[in-house]
Amino acid sequence: MTDLNLLSAVEAARAMRVGEISAEDLARDCLNRIKDIDDTVQAWISLNPDYVMEQARQTDEHRRTGAPIGPLHGLPVAIKDIFDTLDYPTQYGTPLHAGRKTTSDATVVAMLRQAGAIIMGKTVTTEFAVLSPTSKTTNPHDPARTPGGSSSGSAAAVAAGMVPLALGTQTNGSVIRPASYCGVVGYKPTYGLVSRHRVLRTSRNLDQIGMFARTIEDAAMVGEAIIGFDAKDADTLLAPRPDLLAKTSEAPPMPPRYAYIKGPAWSQCDDDTHGAFAELTEAMGDRVEEVDLGSVYEEVLNWHRMVMDADMAKNLSDDYSRGADQISPVLCEMIERGRKVHAVDYNLAVDRIAMFAKAFTDMFEEFDAIITPAATGVAPLGLESTGNPACATLWTFAGMPAMTLPVLQGKSGMPMGVQMVAARGDDARLFRNASWFSTYMEGLADEA
């Protein structure tokens, strides 16, 4: 086999399990792909090919002993450079933490290793994982365009076939947006399902771990590997692990019905997006019904900003005190704004997180999932901005599980994601409905 780097994670895992390919073979093809195109894509900030091959050899040796192997056995995973890793530095995308070394892995990085994964390297993040214009990474579909951010390198690495899987984080739209821009699957689990221990904290209320893959099954597989209670993240939930992968291949009891929600960012979406979603929902006929959220949700962009600004002002205060001159003006402005937020307003906004999550519960008795744009348009030209996160804001704020599927295209031919959202805790159902939708879309395309 050649181009093993293009195998899905599920395919590669199966092939390694039965010995058709080795972890070394897979790692080598991934490294070759990186060598070929990373001068253009620039997805990586720390990558040591020797160390990667060493992990792969150890993985292969482990399998040869006949010992049980993990579900991610031999699969290379890219890690956004805000997760602590024992081997690679963790530099938060800022000169203020250049060369920062840590004494232990983030909980989820340790979980990946336990599942047999190979920690490929650290991917480019924007400064402190916020939306500032310092990502050097380009979009694999068009190097003149941004891959989105803040998980820029993780999204691009998966899209470019450098790795099958990558971890990112989302405090606003930092997984869903780059996944949409790069034409891959992005998945942000329910708030509280994945530990954030030893991951850069920008906002305890909003920070959420997410992942990138090229198929829904792959996202399910890595999701199952990192979901779990962690006493070191007080917000993780003591809940049974959802059976994402099993549900992905399970047919729904009846054909799902989707709620089409334009959402509070609709006015910020461009004509391209308006047109694509009008076509999509028309083609879906009875399978979809538009639901108007009402005006209370329009304020969510402001509430989210208030919480995020104030939390960042607190969590980045040491960095700001010692090196404001090395922080971008955009981020300085956010911190300054955050310092002025009053606790009363902040707490009223924080209270709305739980209110919103609860308010959507009823909707999911009538509908199986929400369909909404993943971004305000396709990846913008230029690297000065990583684009507009507003389409993800409400769902991040409410802590609901969200996924983007690369099923649409803009007029430019660039990928455009459809975001699917479920009720808090209903991640497995989200995967089942996303899988059904994906097959259904293939059917629509065949008809057309």
DSSP state, 194? B
Considering only residues 198 to 237 of the shown chain, the ones binding a copy of itself according to CB under 8 A are 234
Sole binder of a copy of itself in the list 342, 355, 358, 366 (CB under 8 A): 342
Residue 50 burial (CB count, 10 A): 8
Q: Give 8's contacts (C-beta < 8 A, 6+ positions apart).
A: 164, 213, 214, 215, 217, 218
| Residue 150 among the catalytic residues | yes
Is residue 244 a contact residue for a copy of itself (CB under 8 A)?
A: no
Could you give the CA distance from residue 418 to residue 158 in angstroms, rounded to a whole number? 18
Query: Which residues partner with 209 through β-bridges?
Result: 169
| Options 75-83, 250-258, 341-349, 415-423: segment touching a copy of itself (CB under 8 A) | 341-349
32 by Cβ neighbours in 10 Å (0-12 / 13-18 / 19+) ranks as: middle
Amino acid at 211: M
Is residue 368 a contact residue for a copy of itself (CB under 8 A)?
A: no
Of the candidates 80, 188, 247, 262, the residue annotated as catalytic is: 80
Is residue 321 a contact residue for a copy of itself (CB under 8 A)?
A: no
Residue recorded with tokens 């090229």: 214
Of the candidates 135, 151, 152, 174, the residue annotated as catalytic is: 174
Nearest to 44 by CA among 120, 133, 140: 120
Rg (the chain; Cα; Å): 21
State the minimum distance, in angstroms, from the CB of residue 2 to a copy of itself: 52
Is residue 338 a contact residue for a copy of itself (CB under 8 A)?
A: yes
Is residue 339 a contact residue for a copy of itself (CB under 8 A)?
A: yes
Is residue 326 a contact residue for a copy of itself (CB under 8 A)?
A: no
Nearest to 269 by CA among 173, 378, 170, 176: 378
| Options 65-73, 102-110, 271-279, 309-317: segment touching a copy of itself (CB under 8 A) | 309-317
Query: Which residues partner with 260 through β-bridges?
Result: 290, 371
State the minimum distance, in angstroms, from the CB of residue 26 to a copy of itself: 42
Angle between helices 329-339 and 300-315 (to 10 degrees): 100
Q: Give 140's contacts (C-beta < 8 A, 6+ positions apart).
A: 37, 41, 147, 156, 159, 160, 182
Q: Which is nearer to a copy of itself, 266 or 397 (CB)?
A: 397
Phi, psi (5° rounding) for residue 437? -60, -40
Q: Which is nearer to a copy of itself, 92 or 346 (CB)?
A: 346
Of the candidates 22, 46, 135, 150, the residue annotated as catalytic is: 150
Sole binder of a copy of itself in the list 81, 84, 311, 319 (CB under 8 A): 311
| Options 159-167, 245-253, 343-351, 406-414: segment touching a copy of itself (CB under 8 A) | 343-351
Sole binder of a copy of itself in the list 109, 259, 313, 414 (CB under 8 A): 313
Interface with a copy of itself: number of residues (CB under 8 A): 19
Could you give the CA distance from residue 29 to residue 8 in angstroms, rounded to a whole number? 13
Is residue 354 a contact residue for a copy of itself (CB under 8 A)?
A: yes
Residue recorded with tokens 């065949």: 446
DSSP SS3 for 386: coil
| Residue 80 among the catalytic residues | yes
State the minimum distance, in angstroms, from the CB of residue 424 to a copy of itself: 13
Is residue 345 a contact residue for a copy of itself (CB under 8 A)?
A: yes
| Residue 328 among the catalytic residues | no
Is residue 344 a contact residue for a copy of itself (CB under 8 A)?
A: yes
Structure tokens at 368: 């199986």
Q: Which is nearer to a copy of itself, 311 or 426 (CB)?
A: 311
Is residue 241 a contact residue for a copy of itself (CB under 8 A)?
A: no
Is residue 314 a contact residue for a copy of itself (CB under 8 A)?
A: yes
Distances (CA, A) of 148 to 169, 177, 202, 374, 436: 13, 6, 19, 12, 27
Q: Which is nearer to a copy of itself, 41 or 350 (CB)?
A: 350
Q: Measured at the alpha carbon of residue 220, what is the angle toward residues 219 and 225, in degrees to the nearest 5?
A: 100
State the minimum distance, in angstroms, from the CB of residue 10 to a copy of itself: 35
Q: Which is nearer to a copy of itself, 182 or 341 (CB)?
A: 341
| Options 134-142, 216-224, 345-353, 424-432: segment touching a copy of itself (CB under 8 A) | 345-353
CB burial string 308-324: b at 16+ within 10 A, e below: bbbbbbbbbeebbeeee
Is residue 310 a contact residue for a copy of itself (CB under 8 A)?
A: yes
Amino acid at 79: I
Structure tokens at 56: 């792969």
Catalytic residues: 80, 150, 174
Residues that bind a copy of itself (CB under 8 A): 234, 238, 310-311, 313-314, 317, 338-348, 354
